[in-house]
């Protein structure tokens, strides 16, 4: 009898690290670094699928839906991490992107052995959180075989949600129906089976790409600055003034006055300055364009031509 799991790409031995245990500290670091160089190129090869997945997420956000990450072990932790960074970075509701890990929050710090082995637990999760047709369920399993994740994806699909599966296994070995399959085969790990390494890095990069892009398209960024910000403490007040000053080229003092008129909302201050509109009109146009600063400014400027 042979092991099916032993055939997975993530379980193969890396010929470039066979003598890892006898290498010097410098040599070990260089081996890891050389292997990490592979990751960005592998991701670039999957850009069509990543684009399609991001379009599904953007559509979900337009319909007030959610992006729901489901994973186990490192994959689950990275999903929870990406979800937890969205509210402070983009002033988005914590409901918008949610991360779930097999074994629950305890598994974020301590391995819950066997938690990933039950597909019915993944299916139950989808029911418990009320997945709908407006949501995107994204399963993360670098090995491609995690039962908890596969169960969640199957149930999410049954409930009408869009489904995305991220794996670091070759797509020819994946047998599950999803709307988008993102396969980033980064090759055997430096330490055999340790998917917290290259596979984990690839996961972090792709999740970050998807949510950042979706938030940019939701108007959370103007140019390349985080503008969906209300100054509610000293640090944020200073950041808000610097953002307004940078974008408008006005002085720090002028930015302070603009923000005072805008009730400390950066977006409102920017629309006011760029379009010469009053604060209330600027708010109305931002609401009309779902908070998109550029669209609000363009429309106000058209109306004055």
Count helices and strands in the chain by DSSP H and E runs: 11, 7
299 contacts 293 by C-beta, under 8 angstroms: no
pLDDT of residue 233: 84
pLDDT of residue 43: 97
Q: Please indicate, yes or no, if residue 1 is contained in any of the structural domains.
A: no
115 & 234 share domain: no
pLDDT digits (tens, 9 = 90+) for 253-295: 999 999 999 998 999 999 999 888 899 999 998 999 988 898 8
Task: Identify whether 116 is a catalytic site residue.
Answer: yes
213 & 233 share domain: no
Q: Please indicate, yes or no, if residue 128 is contained in any of the structural domains.
A: yes
Q: Report the alpha-carbon distance of residue 101 to residue 105 in Å, rounded.
A: 7
Look up the CATH number of the domain holding residue 127: 3.40.50.10490
Q: Report the alpha-carbon distance of residue 22 to residue 266 in Å, rounded.
A: 56
Instruction: Find all residues with CB under 8 Å of 303, minimum gap 6, and list them.
Output: none
pLDDT of residue 9: 67
pLDDT of residue 1: 43
Query: How many separate domains does the chain show?
Result: 2
Where the chain has pLDDT below 70, the residues are 1-9, 11, 303-305
The active-site residue out of 11, 85, 257, 299 is 85
pLDDT of residue 285: 87
89 & 207 share domain: yes
Look up the CATH number of the domain holding residue 234: 1.10.8.1080
Would you state the structure tokens that stand for residue 238, as one six-digit string?
């200073």
124 & 199 share domain: yes
* Long-range CB contact pairs, 30-36, < 8 A, 24+: 31/190, 32/190, 32/197, 35/187, 35/189, 35/190, 35/197, 35/198, 36/198, 36/201
83 & 173 share domain: yes
Q: In what order do the strands lie in the sheet with 67-71?
A: 97-101, 67-71, 136-140, 162-167, 180-183
- Of the three residues 217, 251, 286, the one that is the final residue of a domain is 217
Start-to-end CA span in the chain (Å): 77
Task: Identify whether 301 is a catalytic site residue.
Answer: no
Domain range enclosing 256: 221-303
């Amino acid at each position: 009898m042979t092991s099916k799991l032993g055939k997975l790409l993530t379980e193969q031995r890396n010929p470039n690290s066979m003598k890892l245990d006898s290498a010097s500290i410098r040599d070990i670091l260089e081996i890891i670094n050389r292997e990490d160089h592979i990751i960005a190129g592998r991701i670039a090869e999957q850009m069509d699928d990543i684009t399609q997945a991001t379009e599904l997420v953007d559509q979900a956000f337009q319909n007030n839906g959610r992006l729901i990450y489901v994973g186990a072990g490192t994959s689950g932790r990275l999903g929870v991490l990406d979800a937890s960074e969205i509210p402070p970075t983009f002033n988005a509701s914590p409901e918008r992107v949610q991360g779930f890990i097999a074994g629950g929050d305890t598994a974020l710090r301590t391995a819950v052995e066997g938690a990933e082995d039950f597909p019915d637990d993944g299916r139950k999760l989808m029911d418990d959180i009320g997945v709908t047709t407006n949501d995107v369920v994204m399963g993360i399993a670098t090995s491609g075989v995690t039962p908890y994740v596969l169960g969640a994806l199957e149930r999410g699909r049954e409930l009408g949600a869009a489904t995305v599966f991220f794996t670091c296994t070759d797509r020819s070995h994946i047998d599950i129906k999803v709307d988008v399959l993102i396969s980033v085969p980064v090759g055997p790990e430096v330490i055999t089976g340790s998917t917290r390494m290259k596979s984990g890095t690839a996961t972090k990069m792709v999740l970050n790409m998807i949510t950042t892009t979706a938030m940019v398209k939701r108007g959370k960024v103007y140019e390349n600055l985080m503008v969906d910000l209300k100054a509610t403490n000293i640090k944020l007040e200073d950041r808000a003034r610097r953002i307004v000053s940078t974008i408008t080229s006005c002085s720090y003092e002028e930015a302070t006055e603009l923000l005072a008129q805008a009730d400390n909302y950066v977006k409102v201050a920017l629309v006011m300055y760029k379009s010469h509109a009053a604060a209330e009109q600027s708010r109305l146009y931002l609401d009309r364009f779902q908070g998109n600063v550029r669209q609000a400014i363009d429309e106000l400027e058209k109306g004055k031509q």
